[in-house]
Amino acid sequence: MDSSGWRSLGRSSIVLARDLSSNRFKGRAFAANPHRAMKVASIVGARPQFIKAWPVSRELRRVGHRETIVHTGQHYDQQMSDVFFAEMGIARPDHFLEIGSGSHGSQTGRMLMAVEETLVGERPDLVLVYGDTNTTLAAAIAACKLGVKLAHVESGLRSYNRTMPEEHNRVLTDHCSDLLFCPTQTAVENLAREGIVQGVHLVGDVMYDAVLAFGARAREQSHILESLGVSPQSYMLATVHRAYNTDDPAILRRLIAAFDAIGETVLFPLHPRTRARLTSSGGMPALRQVRLIDPVGYLDMLALEQQARAILTDSGGVQKEAFFFEVPCITLRPETEWVETVAAGWNVLVGADADAIVAAARAAKPPAQAPPRVFGDGNAAAAIAALIA
C-alpha cells in the first residue's frame, strides 16, 4: 500500500476536544491562540519512544514551541538508542540522565528523582510523555507532583492484563494527565469507561506519521537484506522482549524452538534483555532455521518488516508496523492493546503456545481486505502540536 492510501481520514476525526483556555498552570492560562509558544519538556528513554517523538518534536519546533528533550537512559547503548537519533535526525537530548537498567522499582525511582530535578531546573509549561515504559510513569509522577501540566501521547491503550508492567504504567499515566492524545477511537472509549473524558483528543497514531516519512527511505537506503543474504518474502522476522516471554528461560526457549520448527528462515534480532536471559540460562540453543542477529536501526528494521513474509512479535509497535505495511503478524501474547489489527484479520494472538505459533506462521497470508484506516491520516503530530497551543 502506498503512503497516500491512508490519507482519507480528515481532521474531523479529532473528537472530545475541550476548551483549553480554562486550564491553568502556576497562574498562567493555556491560551486558545494557536501561535502561543509553549516550553515543552519531552521525556524519552526507550527505543519506541524515539520513534514516536520524532514527528512530534519536528512539529513542535516547526510551529514555534520551545522543546527540551530529556533522555532518561532506559535504553542507553548505541544499537538501542544512539542510532535512532542519528538515522531519524532527532535533536540531541538536552539532558541525558544515564539511569540504565535495573528492577522496575529501582529504575523507576531513580528516574523519578532525576526527572524531577531536571524539571525544577527547566520550569516547562508542559511535560510530554510517550507510551507505557518506566520512563513514561516516572516522568508522569514527577510532573504531577510538581504541578506541571502533563500530556500523554498514545493514551487510552488497554490490554486488561495487570500482570504486565506496561499496563500499570499506561493506566497510572492516563489518570495523571491533563491532555490525552489517543491513537484510535477504541482508546477514546477505553478512557471513557474509566471516567476520563476531559482533555481527551483522537489525533491518530504518531508511529504512522513516522512510517509514512521513513518507509520508502528504508527500502531505498537499507542494505540489510543483502548483508544477511536473504531476498524479499523468503524469511520471517521475529522480535521478543517482554518480561513474561524472556524472564522464564523455559518460555523463551520454547518460543525459539517453535520458530525453528516453522521450517522457514526466521531472522531474530536479539533485544539485549533476551540475549542476557539466553546467556544466563545455558547459552544459545542449537538452531537450524533461526538466525540470531544483533539489534538493528530504525531504517533496517522497517526494511526487514516491509519485506518479510510474516512477523512474529510481542512488541506493540511492531504489530502496528506490520499492519501499516500489510504484512501478516503473529503476536506472541494472549492479548493486545491493538485490537483493531486482530479485528481486521492481519494479526493473530497465539501467546507462548508452540503448536499455535507453528500453525499460525505456516498458515500466514495477507487477508483479502486491505487494512482499514483506523490509525489516522498521518498528521497526528501536527494535531498534537496545535492542541498543545
- The model's pLDDT over 268-310, given as tens digits with 9 standing for 90+, comes to 998 777 888 888 777 777 899 999 999 999 999 999 999 999 9
The candidate with the shortest Cα–Cα distance to 322, out of 341, 336, 340, 296, is 341
- Per-residue pLDDT of 315-366, as tens digits, reads 999 999 999 999 999 999 999 999 999 999 999 999 999 999 999 999 999 9
Question: At 323, which helix (H) or strand (E)?
Answer: helix 316-324
Chain position carrying cell 493555556: 30
Q: Give percent of the chain above pLDDT 90.
A: 72
Alpha-helical runs (H) found in 229-281 = 243-246, 249-261, 272-280
> pLDDT band for position 12 (50/70/90)?
very low
Query: Residue 159 CB: number of other CB atoms within 10 A?
Result: 19
Alpha carbon distance 223, 213 (integer Å): 18
Name residues whose C-beta falls within 8 Å of residue 190's C-beta, 6 or more positions apart in sequence. Answer: 156, 157, 158
Alpha carbon distance 81, 72 (integer Å): 11
Mean of the pLDDT values across residues 129-147? 97
Locate 280 and state its grid cell.
Answer: 544466563
DSSP 4: G
- Per-residue pLDDT of 60-100, as tens digits, reads 999 999 999 999 987 555 555 577 677 887 878 999 997 77
Domains of the chain in sequence order: 3-206+375-388 (3.40.50.2000), 214-363 (3.40.50.2000)
N- to C-terminal Cα distance for the chain? 34
The candidate with the shortest Cα–Cα distance to 162, out of 172, 153, 147, 174, is 172
Mean pLDDT of the chain: 87
- The residues that are catalytic are 241
Q: How, if at all, do strands 24-25 and 28-29 pair? A: antiparallel
> 118: buried, middle or exposed (CB in 10 Å: 19+, 13-18, 0-12)?
buried
User: In the beta sheet, which residues pair with residue 266?
Assistant: 236, 290
Instruction: Give yes or no for a contact between 169 and 133, defined as CB atoms under 8 angstroms apart.
Output: yes
